């Protein structure tokens, strides 16, 4: 048995290595023995965790563990059961959501398995029988024809005008013409293996016979399934940041709570049980237990906005990941292009014309391109057939050419079908005067060998060497632009020959013209590429198409500079580079052509090694491993396979690259708003911690646990969520991507949290000092009660005032708008009322240990609230002047 790949083996070597007979096939007994030995022709599924295992896995996060401990302490020690219930509800909801997302992620491999074809036509014991494709074994002789799905990987032995659509595997936009010729070399790319049929690809034309050389997980699709199973789940920048933030905050807050507890006991500020409750209350209040829920809500709101812009998010963290994306590796067909062959240029009468200029008058070019054509027009107007041929008929329709009427007047009476050797197709049509119109289309170089005359307007003259040179030069120029060229010629004969074949009808032809077709770029794609570049994102094209096609489209879109050959690399050239060499060179390349699935994963990994956040788009089975490996996988909603959608984090409802750029903008807004929420929460919590710490250190009366917990409950949640729906700040798409190394404290947020938290604490302590220095009562108990009430009101109110500051880290509050966000306005009002009711409504005073304040005391409280806005505005102004 030979060790060479099946495509490099001769017919005799294939039959010998698989121990089969082309005319007889395998015997039933031999097939059953091989099936028992090697297993069914099906894809293996990866090991799945039970729902319970997945649920328990959600509780391994450090911050989640701390929150659970905090809930237990809040309930059983502090007896704040409401607070404990809120924490537990948040934790459990997050766990349920995590289980749901993991279940969605496993759909990719399940979708692959469901793609298996139900039946196959094979020769068994000399008879053609139909069997389930799962029973196929290596050595089976399989018969396929147009409309079939290839049931396993097979080496073609016979081919009659066979074309197979392999875009789901290779990314190539047009069906591949197959033949049986042995290929040389051991590293021929999938898209160039013209003597192979691959499992789950579609027969679009002709028929063939092949010998099965691989089944199940050994097929090309099986290799992809294995790569999906083996791919490690990547953590998003958001998840990494939240995890690190949770650990750092929790440790810091627990240390501070311990210090407050120790110092309070040492100074005799309260009894041991009271100080313990105070320290625990401080820890519970300072830990932003609502943060996971707030982030989830902000992300969920972001998904709704994205859905309205045709970006359907399957995994919530993907919303934010888009905002940090630095590389977008995009598939070409259908995403950057329209996935529809279109006539772009026509050459006739010695002149090159844009398709929009059209063909005028009775030029025979229209008849030839639509007559020598097997496209079927359905009753509803849709077309069935080869994409190239349907493009020709569609172009005829744009020129008001009525094909049905023309065929009724000149019916087809005979034909010479296309074959891959002569690369021509001819149809013969009966004319009203009894003569016959011969329409021939095909490869220009082959067509010109049969041309003796040329049409110019309404006249026909002899074909000269100058004509040939002009046509070949035009053909070469258009080919460099990645146009698919077809030549058109015709003749009129008096009678049908006895035998209709190439020799009898494809000679002495009259050249009518050339037609250049391409899968054109989407009209908005070039602007979207430019917008991505402006945003500091590098767009790249990864495709299974030929290098010339990929390079031409990339140049037209602005991904590369036209003629920049160094920016383009093929899968074969990539194979020739070691991982180390490719890692060094990866920044040179912006276009990858003729790539295989493992190449896409390699490209993604190379950029990730450089610390880049990579988004990968794709629609085929071949894209699934890379979609799963990327930081954010983007599937196609229209042309995408269920496999690619299942492996994706986000699906484009319109398969449009420009939608990705819009989603990036939304992702950046989401991250910015999460930052605002975190800045608000942490500065507020720092203010609470600092107030309690300094009151303890100074020996002042300490705010009660109920004060801290209520402030934490009513002022944290509503404003923080409302900040998550702030409108997009101007110029957000002119900023560079924040990347993987940045975090929630980047861009000045960390410094703002610290100094603004300190400012909140200082202002609160200042109001407390005013309360004890200029009292309205005479008894010491009443003085301290009023001062504590003033500190409680200030600490709560100052956070609500500060929420306005956080609308932008650097911009002025009056630039971003005081009241643009209605949700924010209502949140502030609701939080204010919940805080005010504890002081102003009779009956709550005793419950919350507060007193009634006079207007002087309220003036001090409100003055502190206004002061934080004024001070922050001044600091922002100075910062903007410094960084101008």
Residues labelled catalytic: 331
Q: How far is CA 547 from CA 345, 592, 697, in A?
A: 21, 8, 72
Under a CB-based contact definition with an 8 Å cutoff, are residues 864 and 764 in contact?
yes
How many helices and strands, by DSSP H and E, does the chain display?
Answer: 33, 26
CA 164 vs. chain centroid, Å, equals 27
CA-CA distance, 364 to 381, in Å (whole number)? 24
Under a CB-based contact definition with an 8 Å cutoff, are residues 287 and 301 in contact?
no
Looking up tokens 């033949």 gives 179
CB proximity list for 188: less than 8 A, separation 6 or greater: 5, 7, 8
β-pairing verdict for 459-462 and 196-197? unpaired
Q: How many residues does the chain have?
A: 884
- Neighbouring CB atoms inside 10 A of 537's CB total 21
Q: How far is CA 722 from CA 818, 819, 822, 824, in A?
A: 13, 12, 9, 5
Under a CB-based contact definition with an 8 Å cutoff, are residues 829 and 767 in contact?
no
Under a CB-based contact definition with an 8 Å cutoff, are residues 383 and 375 in contact?
yes
* Residue 456 parent element (H or E): strand 451-456
DSSP state of 150: -
CB proximity list for 332: less than 8 A, separation 6 or greater: 171, 173, 541, 542, 543, 545, 550, 553
CA-CA distance, 71 to 866, in Å (whole number)? 35
Under a CB-based contact definition with an 8 Å cutoff, are residues 143 and 157 in contact?
no
CA angle at 465 for the pair 460 and 470, rounded to the nearest 5°? 85
Under a CB-based contact definition with an 8 Å cutoff, are residues 90 and 293 in contact?
yes
């Amino acid at each position: 048995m030979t060790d060479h790949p099946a495509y490099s083996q001769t017919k005799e070597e294939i039959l010998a290595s698989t121990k089969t007979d082309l005319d007889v096939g395998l015997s039933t007994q031999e097939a059953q023995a091989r099936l028992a030995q090697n297993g069914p022709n099906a894809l293996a599924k990866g090991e799945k965790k039970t729902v319970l295992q997945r649920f328990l896995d959600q509780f391994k996060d450090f911050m989640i563990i701390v929150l659970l401990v905090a809930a237990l302490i809040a309930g059983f020690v502090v007896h704040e059961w409401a607070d404990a219930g809120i924490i537990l509800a948040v934790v459990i909801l997050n766990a349920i959501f995590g289980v749901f997302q993991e279940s969605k992620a496993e759909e990719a491999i399940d979708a692959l398995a469901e793609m298996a074809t139900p039946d196959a036509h094979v020769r068994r014991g000399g008879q053609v029988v139909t069997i389930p494709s799962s029973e196929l074994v290596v050595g089976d002789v399989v018969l396929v024809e147009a409309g079939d799905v290839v049931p396993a990987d097979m080496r073609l032995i016979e081919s009659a005008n066979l074309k197979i659509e392999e875009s789901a595997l290779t990314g190539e936009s047009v069906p591949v013409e197959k033949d049986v010729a042995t290929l040389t070399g051991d590293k021929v790319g999938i898209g160039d293996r013209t003597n192979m049929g691959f499992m789950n690809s579609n027969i679009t034309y002709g028929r063939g016979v092949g010998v099965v050389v691989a089944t199940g997980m050994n097929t090309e699709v099986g290799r992809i399934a294995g790569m999906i199973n083996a791919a490690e789940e990547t953590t998003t920048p958001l998840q990494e940041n939240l995890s690190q933030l949770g650990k750092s905050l929790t440790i810091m807050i627990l240390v501070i709570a311990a210090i407050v507890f120790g110092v309070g006991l040492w100074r005799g500020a309260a009894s041991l049980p009271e100080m313990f409750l105070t320290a625990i209350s401080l820890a519970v209040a300072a830990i932003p237990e609502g943060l996971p829920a707030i982030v989830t809500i902000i992300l969920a709101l972001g998904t709704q906005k994205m859905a309205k812009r045709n970006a359907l998010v399957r995994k919530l963290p993907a919303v934010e990941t888009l905002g940090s994306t630095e590389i977008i590796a995009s598939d070409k067909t259908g995403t950057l292009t329209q996935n529809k062959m279109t006539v772009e240029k026509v050459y006739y009468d010695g002149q090159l014309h844009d398709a929009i200029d059209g063909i005028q008058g009775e030029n025979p070019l229209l008849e030839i391109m639509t007559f020598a054509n097997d496209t079927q027009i359905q009753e509803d107007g849709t077309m069935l057939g080869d994409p190239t041929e349907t493009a020709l008929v569609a172009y005829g329709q744009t020129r008001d050419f009525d094909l049905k009427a023309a065929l009724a007047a000149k019916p087809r009476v005979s034909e010479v079908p296309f074959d891959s050797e002569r690369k021509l197709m001819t149809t013969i049509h009966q004319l009203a005067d009894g003569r016959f119109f011969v329409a021939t289309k095909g490869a220009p170089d082959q067509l010109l060998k049969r041309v003796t005359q040329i049409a110019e307007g309404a006249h026909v003259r002899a074909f000269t060497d100058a004509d040939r040179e002009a046509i070949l030069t035009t053909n070469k120029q258009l080919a460099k632009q990645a146009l698919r060229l077809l030549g058109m010629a015709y003749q009129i004969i008096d009678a049908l020959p006895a035998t209709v074949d190439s020799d009898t009808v494809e000679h002495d032809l009259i050249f009518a013209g050339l037609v250049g077709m391409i899968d054109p770029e989407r009209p908005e794609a070039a602007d979207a590429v430019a917008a991505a570049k402006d945003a500091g994102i590098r767009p790249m094209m990864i495709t299974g198409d030929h290098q010339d096609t990929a390079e031409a489209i990339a140049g037209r879109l602005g991904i590369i500079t036209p003629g920049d050959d160094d920016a383009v690399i093929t899968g074969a050239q990539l194979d020739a580079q070691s991982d180390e060499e490719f890692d060094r060179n990866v920044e040179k390349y912006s276009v990858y052509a003729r790539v295989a699935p493992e190449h896409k994963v390699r490209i993604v990994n190379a950029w990730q090694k450089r610390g880049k956040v990579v988004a990968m788009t794709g629609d085929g089975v071949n894209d699934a491993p890379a979609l799963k490996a990327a930081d954010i996988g983007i599937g196609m909603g229209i042309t995408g396979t269920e496999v690619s959608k299942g492996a994706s984090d986000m699906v484009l409802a319109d398969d449009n690259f420009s939608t990705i750029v819009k989603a990036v903008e939304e992702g950046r807004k989401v991250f910015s708003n999460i930052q605002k929420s975190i800045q608000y929460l942490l500065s507020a919590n720092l203010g609470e911690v600092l107030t309690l710490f300094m009151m303890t250190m100074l020996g002042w009366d300490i705010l009660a646990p109920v004060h801290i917990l209520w402030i934490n409950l009513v002022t944290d949640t509503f404003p923080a969520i409302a900040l998550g729906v702030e409108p997009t700040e101007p110029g957000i798409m002119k900023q560079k991507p924040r990347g993987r190394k940045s975090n929630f404290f980047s861009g000045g947020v960390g410094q703002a949290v610290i100094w603004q938290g300190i400012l909140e604490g200082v202002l609160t302590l200042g109001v407390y000092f005013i309360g004890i220095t200029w009292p309205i009562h005479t008894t010491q108990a009443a003085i301290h009660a009023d001062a504590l009430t003033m500190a409680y009101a200030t600490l709560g109110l100052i956070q609500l005032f500060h929420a306005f500051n956080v609308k932008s880290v650097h911009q002025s509050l009056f630039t971003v708008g005081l009241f643009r966000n209605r949700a924010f306005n209502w949140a502030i009002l609701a939080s204010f009322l919940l805080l005010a009711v504890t002081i102003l409504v009779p009956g709550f005073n005793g419950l919350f240990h507060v007193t009634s304040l006079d207007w002087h005391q309220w003036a001090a409280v409100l003055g502190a609230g206004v002061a934080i806005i004024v001070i922050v505005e001044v600091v922002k102004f100075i910062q903007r002047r410094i960084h101008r």
